[in-house]
Amino acid sequence: MSKINVALCSFGMSGRVFHAPFIRLHSGFHLYGVWERTKNLAKEKYPDIKTFRSLGELLADDAIDMVVVNTPSVTHFEYTKMALLAGKHVVVEKPFTATIEEAKELMALAKSRNLKLSVYHNRRYDSDFMTVKKVIDEKLLGPIVDAEIRYDRFVPALSYKTHKETPTAAVGSLYDLGSHLVDQALQLFGMPKAVFADIDIFRDGSKVDDYFDLKLYYETHRVSLKSSYYVREAMPGFQIHGKKGSFIKTKADPQESLLIKDQEPVGADWGTEPESQRGLLHSEMEGKLVKELIPTLKGNYAEYYFQMYEAIVNNAPLPVKAEEGTEVIRVIEAAYESKHKKQIIDISIS
């Protein structure tokens, strides 16, 4: 098969940092085109790329096999639907959609046209998360009792990107940062039975939520997902406690900061955290108390596109199924319902 031609729907931070480098890294993909209304930023970096001035023009190009919908979240449903109707495979940025009903419509459309549809939950390939998952999978802590996952920032000022500060569908901290945390929680523990949420606004002049504290209820344990834009001193990103011990880990994956500096995602050290950021394991193993720092696995966002290629060419499993992206939206919708009703919301699925 010839190379898969890929087009990006924008070339802001998402396109430049999280998608273009990894599409170009894979020999089976060709970064064919990009939609930029007036600028030529992609062409300055990649002279051979084709620039489109409208989405319609991009989707009308029969040479394009796959489209990356990395535009503002409020557009995800509309643009993904347009791309699928144009016969393109689609990678859509998180959050997948604003509602479950929108997600279901897109899944049905992709299935009816035999097209691949995947949600870009790249934080599954963070070094810190991968290490936490390994510790849990290897049952080093015993049965889990309590877990907390955080994604904090210190950014009191409103974003210059107006779409992030306009109270429209799928906008706000819970849809933005919360999508990462919810997806990670579901990967570690599956779908919870119920959700309780405290969601609020603390930045001066803000009209969209910038704080959340979710409690996910499971049969045997609880999981807290937290984020605030007013955390100047970073707290551990992961605190996992089981009946045998605990694992504490910072959020220290280096990939995003390196990509922002335009470093190519290659080399034996790519995705390697500093040893100073190793997680602390304090547990009981073979009847002995163990307290030691655990080596961190290497992060690798490239794995997403390697799996996406295999899914398209060899019908292998998608890196992130649309159904998994939908489960994230199910939790987020339940969280907002909990906030408005001030009660625990049952989301158990029979």
Start-end ranges of CATH 3.40.50.720 in the chain? 4-120
Q: What pTM, to 2 d.p., does this model score?
A: 0.96
- Which CATH number among 3.40.50.720, 3.40.50.300, 3.30.56.10, 2.40.40.20 corresponds to the domain 4-120? 3.40.50.720
Report long-range pairs for 173-177 (Cβ below 8 Å, ≥24 apart): 173/208, 173/209, 173/210, 173/211, 173/212, 173/227, 173/229, 174/199, 174/209, 174/212, 174/214, 174/227, 174/332, 174/335, 174/336, 175/73, 175/95, 175/98, 175/332, 176/73, 176/95, 177/151, 177/153, 177/227
Mean pLDDT for 55-67 is 98
- Phi first, then psi, for residue 236 (nearest 5°) are -55, 135
Burial 159-179 (b: 16+ CB within 10 A, else e): eeeeeebeeebbbbbbbbbbb
Question: What pLDDT, on a 0 to 100 scale, did the predictor assign at position 237?
Answer: 97
Element spanning 281, H or E: strand 279-285
Start-end ranges of CATH 3.30.360.10 in the chain? 127-298+331-346
DSSP class of residue 241?
E
pLDDT band at 286 (very low <50, low <70, confident <90, very high): confident
Residue 350 has pLDDT above 70, yes or no: no
Using an 8 Å Cβ cutoff, are 49 and 29 in contact?
Answer: no
Question: What pLDDT, on a 0 to 100 scale, did the predictor assign at position 2?
Answer: 75
Mean pLDDT for 340-345 is 97
Q: What is the CATH number of domain 127-298+331-346?
A: 3.30.360.10
